[in-house]
């Protein structure tokens, strides 16, 4: 099911800061929050890109980190909303490789970074037919942070 996602400005800024400091390489990490409609993205946790390929074009979050993220969400009564990563000098749309390795039931935030500056973040989710569909990302400017 395609969701609306409400995100705090501070969370979006955190993702952009990580994406910019990691440029020209791809960053990655987890997004935690609350279930509901809309989903709420409230916290991010950066993970070191563990890919054994060129980090400019590929990222990997190892299984141990996924286990930790699931445990963190469980122990802190949070939802593992999804993952984020960046596309250096490319648009924030899922690539064929993003699709090949995607999991259902998670949001995939992709941030485009152009010449070191984070420009745009979009969120995507796999459909039942394994096609990425864009989610509506709403910035909650009424949030205190």
Partner 1 sequence: MAKIIIPTPLRKFTSNQAAVAVQEGTVLESIRDLTQQFPDLDKHLFNEDQKLRGFVRIFIGENDIEDLEGQETRVNPGDTISIIPAIAGGL
Residues that bind partner 1 (CB under 8 A): 26, 28, 51, 53, 56-63, 66-67, 70, 80, 83, 85, 87-88, 90, 94-95, 97-98, 100-106, 108, 130
Q: Which is nearer to partner 1, 14 or 47 (CB)?
A: 47
Q: Which is nearer to partner 1, 90 or 114 (CB)?
A: 90
Shortest Å, Cβ 135 to partner 1: 15
Give the list of residues 6+ apart from residue 55 with CB closer than 8 angstroms, or none: 25, 26, 49
Q: How far is the CB of 145 from partner 1 (least distance, A)?
A: 27
Nearer to partner 1, 58 or 114 (CB): 58
| Cα 41 to Cα 36: distance, rounded to the nearest angstrom | 11
């Amino acid at each position: 099911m395609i969701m609306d996602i409400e995100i705090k400005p501070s969370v979006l800024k955190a993702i952009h800061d990580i994406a910019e400091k990691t440029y020209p390489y791809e960053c990655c990490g987890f997004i935690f929050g609350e279930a509901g409609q809309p989903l709420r993205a409230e916290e991010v946790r950066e993970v070191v890109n563990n890919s054994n390929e060129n980090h400019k074009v590929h990222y990997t979050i190892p299984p141990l980190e996924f286990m930790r993220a699931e445990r963190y969400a469980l122990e802190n009564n949070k939802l593992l909303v999804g993952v984020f990563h960046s596309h250096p000098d490319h648009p924030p749309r899922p690539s064929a490789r993003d699709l090949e390795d995607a999991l259902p039931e998670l949001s995939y935030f992709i941030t485009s970074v152009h010449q070191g500056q984070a420009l745009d973040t979009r969120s995507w989710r796999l459909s039942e037919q394994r096609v990425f569909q864009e989610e509506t990302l709403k910035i909650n400017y009424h949030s205190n942070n």
